[in-house]
Structure 1
């Protein structure tokens, strides 16, 4: 089990190759601050007021992966600090987005890991620097960026790795990552016509329904009680539950061709070890943060491909319709940088944020 009880921490880099793949969309320039070097601070409320489409998020995240695969971005391993009793965990992640010419540092701090979600404290921030001018762009709360980036990656994994003609999806968990999973899946796979949800928290279930209705009016989600039957009926499963979930889908429950995406918890180790094909956003990261999925010898099977290579067309997401594919979704800081830069563009265009003369 990881210290955070989640598989989304950024710990590894993706090997680059000589192949050049351009970003999905052109990136406009963020205005450079004048009259010194103030730092624009974007608060939680600043970012909450920005409208960004799911398609925009998907395109931005996909472009970050493609640029990384082309060797134009850098995503080194993160630094991690935790006390001996494990009551907190801290991360520092440095990266560079080559298509945007942006360098950034992301920090995360979570306190109270042994407590309930309501009793925990969690802070995460992202500081962006323009690598063409050498000036700071913005410092922002990174929580909304993470809540969008992770389900976007799951949706891209589904687009590339789901069985042909996928019609049904099951989301396990109703926390932050589960609440936007279905809207992103529908954006990437509009042919989905059966949407299922496994969750136990009434507020979380209500939030999933509200987010789905906001993005896809008229679409309904079916709350399932028989997880085994739901898993057998699903073409795509996205497991986002917390570490204390009772949900644990076994490999023998899955039908031919099922794609299982692990974000948090909700899939048993057998879904990984008995998969016909394994895709990881980063194999090195999976080996560090996925130890709770290890077999009785403490080992994980190797990944057949990393996702940046799949997006670039250098490796298939699946080889045959009937393959059962397991996908390990762990966040890479280059995707946070790309999406954070997009938010900075939108915020600066609206004049949001507070300029702080930190270096004056």
Structure 2
């Protein structure tokens, strides 16, 4: 059974390859049962966690399961809030093929899915990106987006200003035109693409800040309790989701439904429809678009499959 180090896995999952692999995976489809969600410990307590089990299998003979453990109280202990592992098996025999660092797969596929959506939904001439959140996923959004748009300006905002500064510095070292933003409202108003990758439980983005023709990307929140944008952000906007599971899981969408700013019937489509060409993407330069993702095991499977095939090809 293969077990590559995280650094090698990052190299195998380069964003040009990964965005393309996700596009193909959404077009092809896979069997993706509803994820299992379990609360570990007593909900609401500092040491309580959420464990997600996310299986998927495809027609090509691969079966994978990701286990994700989210402990929001870990920050107080100087630990990451999320830990995960990914197991890849043969769907024909059940034999284990590889074990991957689930954190790397999750963070990279999340950023790559955001970039895939932006390729369909952001204006073709979008040049400026604001990333809200400088954590593991937030630090990857700009490199992913840079594979689908020519970015002239990248700003990073985080509630922890020093984290935003460190993230921007790391991006500059990768050759990207990044700087830290200190005024969130000003940064949102100036951005063609606003991408939120946080664990916020109260809205950070306000509708009046969003420019006509902008694209709002919400990839951080994935439970009904979490939310990154106020309900009005969904009013008078064209809204897509990653999968049909999102309306039941996303606090952003549930809040918008409750406020009357959006209806489930008005959702324009999902990544499968966009990849297959069965639903349209952006229709005009002035249209304000929103993409809301909660993640799907299809993305994890596509990522693990991409890494596994490269590993086995390099052994021959």
* TM-score normalised per structure 2: 0.85
1:14 is aligned to: none
Q: How does 1:1-360 map to 2 (within 5 A)?
A: 39-44=1-6, 47=9, 50-68=11-29, 73-82=30-39, 83-86=41-44, 87-98=48-59, 100-111=60-71, 113=73, 116=76, 118-119=78-79, 122-132=82-92, 134-190=94-150, 192-199=151-158, 200-214=160-174, 217=175, 219-243=176-200, 248-264=204-220, 266-272=228-234, 274-290=235-251, 294-295=255-256, 297=258, 301-302=263-264, 303-349=267-313
Give 1:135 deviation, angstroms.
Answer: 3.0
Give 1:88 deviation, angstroms.
Answer: 0.9
Give 1:292 deviation, angstroms.
Answer: 7.4
Give 1:51 deviation, angstroms.
Answer: 4.6
CA distances 1:86-118 after superposition (whole Å, capped 9, x unpaired): 4111111111123x3211111112335475372
Are 1:47 and 1:347, in contact at CA under 8 Å, matched by a contact in 2?
A: no
Q: Whose RCO is larger (CA < 8 A, sep 6+)? A: 1
SS in 1 for 2:89: strand
CA distances 1:21-42 after superposition (whole Å, capped 9, x unpaired): xxxxxxxxxxxxxxxxxx4444
Name the Cα RMSD after superposition.
Answer: 2.6
Moved more, 138-147 or 260-269: 260-269
Are 2:165 and 2:179, in contact at CA under 8 Å, matched by a contact in 1?
A: no
Query: Residues 337, 301 of structure 1: CA spacing in aligned structure 2 closer, same or farther, 3 A cutoff?
Result: same
Are 2:130 and 2:154, in contact at CA under 8 Å, matched by a contact in 1?
A: yes
CA distances 1:185-209 after superposition (whole Å, capped 9, x unpaired): 111112x222222123424532343
Query: Residues 229, 201 of structure 1: CA spacing in aligned structure 2 closer, same or farther, 3 A cutoff?
Result: closer
Matches of 1:94 and 1:287 in 2, distance apart? 18
- What residue ranges of structure 1 are gaps of 5+ in the alignment? 1-38, 352-360
Matches of 1:145 and 1:296 in 2, distance apart? 31
Are 1:174 and 1:201, in contact at CA under 8 Å, matched by a contact in 2?
A: no
Give 1:154 deviation, angstroms.
Answer: 0.9
Are 2:111 and 2:141, in contact at CA under 8 Å, matched by a contact in 1?
A: yes
Query: Residues 236, 46 of structure 1: CA spacing in aligned structure 2 closer, same or farther, 3 A cutoff?
Result: closer
SS in 1 for 2:65: strand
Matches of 1:111 and 1:225 in 2, distance apart? 28
Are 2:110 and 2:137, in contact at CA under 8 Å, matched by a contact in 1?
A: yes
Are 2:132 and 2:197, in contact at CA under 8 Å, matched by a contact in 1?
A: yes
CA distances 1:289-329 after superposition (whole Å, capped 9, x unpaired): 32675048477632221121012111111222211111102
SS in 1 for 2:147: helix
Matches of 2:275 and 2:313 in 1, distance apart? 31
Query: Residues 185, 146 of structure 1: CA spacing in aligned structure 2 closer, same or farther, 3 A cutoff?
Result: same
SS in 2 for 1:179: helix
Are 1:109 and 1:124, in contact at CA under 8 Å, matched by a contact in 2?
A: yes
SS in 1 for 2:111: helix
Matches of 1:111 and 1:166 in 2, distance apart? 36
Matches of 2:246 and 2:92 in 1, distance apart? 30
SS in 2 for 1:241: coil
More helix by share: 2
SS in 1 for 2:195: strand
Matches of 2:263 and 2:97 in 1, distance apart? 41
